[in-house]
Amino acid sequence: MGLSPLAVLRYRVPVRGAGLDRFSMSEQATATHTISVLVDNEAGVLARVIGLFSGRGYNIDSLTVAEVDQAAQMSRITVVTSGTPQVIEQIKAQLGRLVPVHRVVDLTVECESVERELALVKVSGKGEARVEALRLSEAFRARVVDATPESFVFEITGNGEKIDAFIELMTPLGLQEASRTGAAALARGPEPM
């Protein structure tokens, strides 16, 4: 484990007033971060990551896991979490400590990144509402993946807010249920993380 870039920087930071550099979580703002974790795809690895978050009281807003390199048997876990900068730094360090973890990157602060979620949204109804639902789905570039005379299942991808907005709009139009993935995210640019 190398020194995290945040930690390397810290001692160059000019000294704050005496007594101010005490650790106080309440003084710091909480923010949402997307953390990408490359792990060996071995039994129990997901339980380790989830257990770490619940055991230490960190938030999980969403979590996405799948094998991404079959030959090397590696999976990518994308966790969206929130916390103060200290808590996020702790989360990274604690993840890095897990034996099957290869790499941890905070996509929110360490690089530019793209992030997508996918949702399936079932809307039932007839007449005006049905037409309106279809019209809105086009505006959101959602696709119809199942249809009956009185229902649609839409597939929509985008960032979380876009999907939130879509679901909200569907609510008065006969929203039945939705199934959402967590975020999948990658750093922008030509290099792997």
Binding site for other proteins (CB under 8 A): 1-4, 7-8, 10-12, 15, 18-19, 21-24, 39-40, 43-44, 47-48, 51, 55, 86, 89-90, 93-94, 96-102
CB of 166 to other proteins, least distance (A): 38
100 vs 115, beta carbon nearer other proteins: 100
Task: Give yes or no for a contact between 4 and 89, defined as CB atoms under 8 angstroms apart.
Answer: yes
Q: Is 183 helix (H, G, I), strand (E, B) or coil?
A: coil
How far, CA to CA in Å, does 102 sit from each of 37, 92, 105, 130? 7, 12, 10, 48
44 vs 149, beta carbon nearer other proteins: 44
101 vs 185, beta carbon nearer other proteins: 101
How far, CA to CA in Å, does 174 sit from each of 122, 137, 178? 8, 13, 12
CB of 86 to other proteins, least distance (A): 6
Nearest to 133 by CA among 163, 161, 172, 179: 172
21 vs 146, beta carbon nearer other proteins: 21
- Compute the distance between CA of residue 32 and CA of residue 118 in angstroms, rounded to an integer: 19
Q: Which two tokens stand for residue 44?
A: 């129990």
51 vs 189, beta carbon nearer other proteins: 51
Q: Which residues pair with 34 in a beta bridge?
A: 80
CB of 38 to other proteins, least distance (A): 8
Q: Which residues pair with 157 in a beta bridge?
A: 118
CB of 25 to other proteins, least distance (A): 10
Burial of 187 (0-12, 13-18, 19+ CB in 10 A): middle
CB of 94 to other proteins, least distance (A): 5
